[in-house]
């Protein structure tokens, strides 16, 4: 990978990832992956996140000609050796958040940059520790009513209303949002000038 990409594609429909790439000032299009994550084999949490990101990026890259770059990402929430995915309903969301309350857990995002037409893929992952507050039942109920839990791993988002659940974090804030920007730009630096985009990170809001 040593040529400037003709186009950048995000292999995700996540509004948070679209927001983050837009804030970076990157020009991109969206083409979500159809990968079934449940079929991905893995030995540990980090490997799963990376394998899932690679599967998404390469599946979408196969639709394009040489020169296009595809960004794939997969974010997981890990607690007690278990991966907490997206809740199936509000009851499961409530159960997940009660498990996370007043405890520390790990958020891992795998990132993949695939070059269409070549089979070249760059891979990495970011890990952030998130510590939840001992929030009250009323706070939990109010958050569940927002509906914010239903499309997020671990049943919460760090941005918006989800901020009320979190005491502090250790690591990359944007990783918990779903895309570790510093890590992504390190991968993209192989194919493009990322200096202007690196400068944008410092201007973006991080409440933790």
- Please give the Cα distance from 50 to 73 (Å, whole number): 8
Q: Of 2, 3, 127, 12, nearest to 71 (Cα)? A: 12
Q: Which H helix or E strand runs over 29?
A: strand 29-30
Q: What is the 3-state secondary structure (H, E, C) of 80-146?
A: CCEEECCCCCHHHHHHHHHHHCCCEEEEEEEEEEEECCCCCEEEEEEEEEEEECCCCHHHHHHHHHC
Listed as own residue / partner, the contacts of 185-192 with beta carbons closer than 8 Å and 24 or more positions apart are 185/24, 186/124, 187/111, 187/113, 187/122, 187/123, 187/124, 188/69, 188/113, 190/1, 190/2, 190/122, 191/1, 191/2, 191/3, 191/4, 191/5, 191/69, 191/113, 191/115, 192/4, 192/5
Annotated catalytic residue within 31, 74, 89, 148 = 74
The yes-or-no answer on residue 89 being catalytic is no
Q: Which two tokens stand for residue 106?
A: 């790990």
**Catalytic residue numbers?**
74
């Amino acid at each position: 990978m040593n040529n400037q990409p003709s186009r950048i594609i995000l292999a995700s429909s996540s509004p948070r990832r679209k927001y983050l790439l837009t804030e970076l000032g990157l020009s991109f299009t969206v083409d979500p992956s159809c990968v079934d994550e449940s079929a991905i084999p893995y030995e540990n949490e980090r490997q799963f996140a990376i394998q899932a990101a690679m599967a998404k990026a390469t599946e979408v890259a196969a639709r394009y000609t040489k020169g296009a770059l595809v960004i794939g990402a997969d974010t997981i929430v890990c607690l007690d050796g278990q991966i907490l995915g997206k809740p199936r309903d509000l009851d499961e969301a409530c159960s997940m958040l009660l498990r996370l309350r007043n405890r520390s857990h790990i958020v891992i995002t795998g990132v993949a940059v695939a070059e269409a037409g070549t089979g070249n893929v760059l891979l990495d992952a970011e890990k952030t520790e998130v510590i939840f507050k001992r929030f009250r039942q009323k706070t939990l109920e109010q958050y569940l009513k927002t509906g914010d839990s239903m499309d997020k791993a671990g049943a919460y988002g760090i941005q918006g209303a989800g901020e009320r659940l979190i005491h502090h974090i250790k690591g990359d804030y944007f990783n918990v949002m779903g895309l570790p920007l510093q890590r992504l730009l390190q991968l993209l630096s192989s194919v493009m000038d990322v200096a202007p985009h690196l400068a944008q990170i410092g201007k973006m809001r991080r409440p933790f």
